[in-house]
A and B are shown apart, each in its own frame.
Chain A
């Protein structure tokens, strides 16, 4: 019995060390740093100034809300584009072509996000492929700049997030028995009503887990908004980066970090509550 206890503690130790030293303590420390302000060199006093700055400075709050809203938009667009694709892979494609299509969805995501973004830069920029193609077609008489705006940034975010929507959706849709869909039609259902009453409710766990992951990845993304977005498409992570690395104001940066963490947790929690899912199930299905 005591060797079983020993085994238990030996297995528990790495988990506790990992979570304690790399997740919990750093976050507690970040909270402490965010709740203090510098009064003199190397001298700090506890205060809520950093959070007050976040709420009162329009640029900060505006960037925060903009990032949240655009991330929700990215999530919705990704869902709308991905759903028919997942349905096709799960229900219409059969056998070998099914496996091949699924694999083709995965391939781009074995490649670094940087490479994918670089691809879009080459396509969209003024001297890029699409601009050249439009001129060749005669649709444009001079180079067209399509980079450095919100649309390009959204395109990049949707592209980068696609896998995390397609995979959970396909997995849940595959588990839907064809006979259930047929029964829906036999009982007088039409395409839209079968979709609404049978397919979407069945796919709900996949939809939720896909949406949560896509939302979080967009909200926390730094690379795509920086590379594809313009001067006006400021992303909240860029504020955090500039406070930490450029301005060296760790107190304000830590407060921003908590605001980001808070937004992402609240939206994840609300989505789970609204749809009656749990984090354990969602993450289990998503991976």
Chain B
């Protein structure tokens, strides 16, 4: 079943047809969502009522476009804010983790490494509820002791950030570690021999080498945060990020404005993906 082994024509055709069908199946829902963003109807469904840009730019009822929908715009802002904070934190801690596991051998290293992988094995909804339970216990204790009401520990942005950070950091660590392992330590030693201090050596030699992985980890973290649903659902307060807002809308029954948002998300993801490929190519 490799090109150098002859196979029957029927077999080859059938295989090709299967692969084609698979990729059509893969593309089908995404194409459908995009096409119906331009349907001049109040529902994202058949019949086709004609082409319109209204679900993007419309500003009068019933066709209020995405760019005039305050709630959706606000939740995109919320998502972007959460994703930026989570990615920045995850890349920072991911970098220190990568250095720790790469540069030091210590007792309990293997155990800590497995522990570091665990957040990927825990279902997202369980991560969410465990953080919810723990933070409300801490908030309760703080209130009993000091009498202060701690807003930070109640469902809301800080908890969403904490919840997403708790598992995205593992992914950031893996991405950064994968590149750090391939780093040639003698380059750093050369810098040390030439009179650089250890921190200078890392800043001027190791970090530039790691840069593609750092950018990659940031982009992956950003996307994972932006798309996260399970963990966020359990920790969300009044400022809903985009996935939660869209979920609520979908349950109520939706207008094609959701298709417009989806198309925008696809374009955004594509731009980020291209950016990442461009950076890794360098």
A residues neighboring B (CB under 8 Å): 3, 7-8, 10-12, 14-15, 18-19, 22-27, 29-30, 33, 81, 84-85, 87-88, 91-92, 94, 101, 104-108, 110-116, 118-123, 125, 127-129, 131-132, 159, 162, 178, 181-182, 185, 191, 194-195, 216, 219-223, 227, 237, 240-241, 244-245, 250, 253-254, 257, 260-261, 264-265, 268, 279-280, 283-284, 287
Contacts and interface: CB of A to CB of B under 8 A. Distances in A.
A241 B125 CA distance: 8
Given A27-B130, A122-B44, A223 B229 contact: yes
A244 B129 contact: yes
Interface of B: 1-5, 15, 18-19, 22-23, 25-30, 32-33, 36, 43-47, 92-93, 96-97, 99-100, 103-104, 106, 112-127, 129-135, 137, 162-163, 165-166, 169, 171, 174-175, 178, 198, 223, 226-227, 229-230, 233-234, 243, 246-247, 250, 254, 258-259, 262, 265-266, 269-270, 272-273
Contacts of B130: 26-27, 29-30, 257
Contact of A11 (B99, B121, B243): B99
Given A15-B96, A220-B126, A241 B4 contact: no
A241 to B, nearest CB: 7
Given A18-B166, A195-B1, A114 B133 contact: no
A268 B121 contact: yes
B116 to A, nearest CB: 7
B100 A12 contact: yes
Contact of B166 (A23, A108, A121, A191): A23
A119 B125 contact: no
15 contacts: A11-B99, A11-B104, A26-B135, A29-B130, A92-B2, A92-B3, A107-B30, A108-B29, A115-B265, A178-B4, A216-B121, A220-B124, A227-B250, A241-B125, A280-B117
A110 B125 contact: no
B1 A118 contact: no
B261 to A, nearest CB: 8
Contacts of B247: 114, 223
Nearest to A121: B250
Contacts of B121: 216, 264-265, 268, 279
Nearest to A91: B2
Contacts of A108: 26-27, 29-30
B30 A181 contact: no
B19 A85 contact: yes
A115 B266 contact: yes
A222 B229 contact: yes
A119 B33 contact: yes
A161 to B, nearest CB: 12
Contact of A257 (B119, B126, B230): B126
A123 B28 contact: yes
A129 B117 contact: no
B126 to A, nearest CB: 5
A33 to B, nearest CB: 5
Q: Which of the listed residues B15, B125, B273 has the most CB atoms from chain A within 10 Å of its own CB?
A: B125
A3 B199 CA distance: 11
Contact of B46 (A25, A101, A132): A132
B129 A253 contact: yes
A19 B126 contact: no
A247 to B, nearest CB: 13
Contacts of B117: 279-280, 283
